[in-house]
Amino acid sequence: MTWLITGGAGYIGSHVVKSMAEAGEPVVVVDDLSGGDPRRLPGQVPLERGTVLDRTFLDRVLREHAVEGIVHLAAKKAVGESVEKPLLYYRENVTGLQVLLDAAVSAGVSSFLFSSSASVYGTPPTEVVTEDTPLAPLSPYGETKTAGEWMVRATGRAQGMATACLRYFNVAGTAEPALADTGVFNLVPMVFERLDAGLPPLIFGDDYPTPDGTCVRDYIHVADIADAHLAVARRLASGRGAGDLVYNIGRGEGVSVREMIRLIAEITGHEIAPEVTDRRPGDPAKVVASADRLATDLGWKASHDVHAMIASAWEARRASRG
């Protein structure tokens, strides 16, 4: 069974490609390279450069590679930018998904795995978030992921396509230096960027209703994210209990932004006190996962701790600078 991985040259996507290809799953990548790097991909994995907004392009790729399953990761993902540019996010994340699903249905694709986000929960009313927690996104980015889940599930039910929506929590770390996160959208690389410049790391608000006033998040190693994709993709392909799946991917453990910055400073040797600035629009106070459903259904459990995430990311950053 050949899997199409959209956004496969990106940070998370390249780890999913690595996990699936090393497990013997045939994969082909679609990426417009706006945020991806083809050097992240194994040499034997085909790369088709193009956008999921281009139906003619998708029809050709699906046909020529005899694609039977899709892992859809291609998306815009910066919460703050989505507040400033909501139409861009709806076009890329919602319209792009609609075009892809339409092409998938026409090509007879049998399995569809959607990259969603914990942002669909907004600020949840409970300490630990389960897949049954009500969806209440706070940003246009979160809204596009919520709408995407609706579209994927509705299409799957109507067309008999096995689907799964994976709600990522906060992703960090790298499996190897070549696959490192080169963007500055996630907390760890954002802090690295500031420290390398001799500047204090920024804390966006310290007046949240949390123990130290800073946002609390569930951080998950990108290699664990990739392995979860492999497990869920194989469940979809097997047809066993596969139809309309929703899973959180997290560790079930909250860490505050201030705690993360302290640990980053310890690992990197940069002892620069953080600077508190204004809250970012759309940031919820606390989001921590329950990943019990994925553990029960597929036996999956995160295997990396926060220290491993930061240490691997820091090693990759030093390697990139020679």
Catalytic sites, residue numbers:
141
Q: How far is CA 110 from CA 21, 74, 293, in A?
A: 19, 19, 23
- The number of angstroms, rounded, from the C-alpha of 218 to the middle of its chain's C-alpha atoms is 13
Half-sphere exposure of 77 (CA within 13 A, CB side): 21
Residue 114: beta bridge partners?
72, 165
Give which of 32, 290, 48 is closest to 169, Cα–Cα. 290
Task: Please state the separation of Cα 40 from the chain's center in Å.
Answer: 16
Residues 246 and 39: their CA atoms lie apart, in Å, by 32
- Considering Cα of 86, then 90, then 91, then 93, what sign does the dihedral take? positive
